Amino acid sequence: MTPKEVLQFAAEHDAKMVDLKFLDFIGIWQHFSVPLSELTEDSFEEGFGFDGSSIRGWQPIHASDMLVIPDPKTAQIDPFMEVPTLSLICNIVDPITKEPYTRDPRHIAQKAEAYMKSTGIADTAYFGPEAEFFVLDDIRFDSKENCGYYFLDSKEGRWNTGREENPNLGYKPRYKEGYFPVPPTDSLQDLRTEMVMVMMSLGISVEAQHHEVASGGQCEIDMKYSPLVEMGDKLMWYKYIVKNVARKHGKTVTFMPKPVFGDNGSGMHTHQSLWKDGKPLFAGDLYGGLSELALYYIGGILKHAPAICAFAAPTTNSYKRLVPGYEAPVRLAYSSRNRSAAVRVPMYSPSPKAKRIEVRFPDPSCNGYLAFAAMLMAGLDGIENKIDPGDPLDKDIYSLGPEELASVPSLPASLDGALDALEKDHDFLLKGDVFTPDVIETWIEYKRTNEIDQIRLRPHPYEFALYFDV
């Protein structure tokens, strides 16, 4: 839409308010609202002011003024506001220089797309994330000087088979057996369908929805692939819709990678492919039906995977998922069909248009704009430098002996390790000024200070079981 068309769209839907949405540095949507009368065609150039010092990882207090500039192409009617509300996703601009803010994740994703086009390699990068999540009925947590705990619950949780529910009707998915059971074992079918209906009402194409492997309400809804920035926008709508539909029904949703001990965690397997002039570039006659260019792209992903993890698996909790035994792709290998490899080549369709790769180590706690941009930059680096991904690994990686495993590198075992990798290996991200040194440094400092150190300083509840009586 043009700015004029956005105003017409708002009038047609009797909108009374305008909600201005943008992403903080870490990856959570922020917003503020203005009356519709405040939105004019000039607003799409002049923007609206706000305090950037109150946003995580952004401006210092002595340089706090920032502008949000609405993107007219993102206009929607918010499906959850009681008063009809026009929703606009915004870019962030410095009010003095009028330059895009370098720490704005959406701007970083836009620069990644621009860099890709500047190389002449491709004109479109398609991304299709499969973001998994848990639907819970109760969540409590706290951390104080003298206590620290969490408690979560789900009516579906296998741990509740013996609970008095007056009556307890059973049908709770067994651990690791939550994949595809029909109702009543899958009690969330209608809830997911409502989520899908809301997504489709906003123009988000959905390919499937289903229960996932873990007990305790693990689910997945698959969106159809879209170009990088557009998919970044859709992923934010996805999280917003899933959380708000669940809340409407008295439930809550978490995108934490590993909220439940002893069962599968939530990943965000990310399908991706490059196209140019309307033609797919990943289809060919090499391994798995891939082209040489696609294999080089995989080579870039595998080479830079430890650094990519700092953005694609960006929480301390991420590495409680990335352990062997729960379908977690901890080994840096690629394979057709094999879900234990870091990169899979899906074999569902022989069509060249369907040829893609699936990067399996990201999780849905990530900032999608940054994770997608980092993967694209790694893949492009692989193509530019003709990085050989080596031989595919078509065996079950978890069944390999020590000698065979020794030759297969692994992902970092912690967020600290991923940040160390990013510190050593980030030149590929700096190309085209996509990620700036300031962005890399700020990300590393924020994660170490606000997450890693905070976890490191606190006793863990299980440490009392291990060590109280020493």
**Catalytic machinery residues:** 51, 130, 132, 212, 220, 269, 339, 358, 360
Backbone angles phi, psi at 293, to 5 degrees: -60, -40
3-state DSSP percent of the chain in helix, strand and coil, to 5: 40, 25, 40
Q: Where are the beta strands (DSSP E) in 238-356?
A: 252-254, 268-276, 279-280, 331-336, 341-345
Closest CA to 303 of 380, 393, 376, 382: 382
Q: How many residues are present in the chain?
A: 470
Give the sign of the dihedral formed by CA 444, CA 447, CA 453, CA 459: negative
Point out which residues pair with 253 in neighbouring strands.
135
What is the spatial distance between Cα 138 and Cα 259, in angstroms, rounded to a whole number? Answer: 12
Point out which residues pair with 254 in neighbouring strands.
134
Give the sign of the dihedral formed by CA 196, CA 198, CA 200, CA 203: negative
In what helix (H) or strand (E) does residue 380 lie, and over which residues does it extend?
helix 368-384
In what helix (H) or strand (E) does residue 112 lie, and over which residues does it extend?
helix 105-119
CA-CA distances (angstroms) from residue 181 to 130, 231, 265?
19, 29, 18
| Packing angle of the helix pair 292-312, 415-424 (nearest 10 deg) | 120
Virtual CA dihedral for 118, 313, 398, 343, nearest 10 degrees? -20
- The 10 Å Cβ neighbour count of residue 206 is 16
Structure tokens at 225: 């692939």
Structure tokens at 166: 């007056």
Point out which residues pair with 88 in neighbouring strands.
20
Q: Within 13 Å and on the Cβ side, how many CA atoms surround 357? A: 32
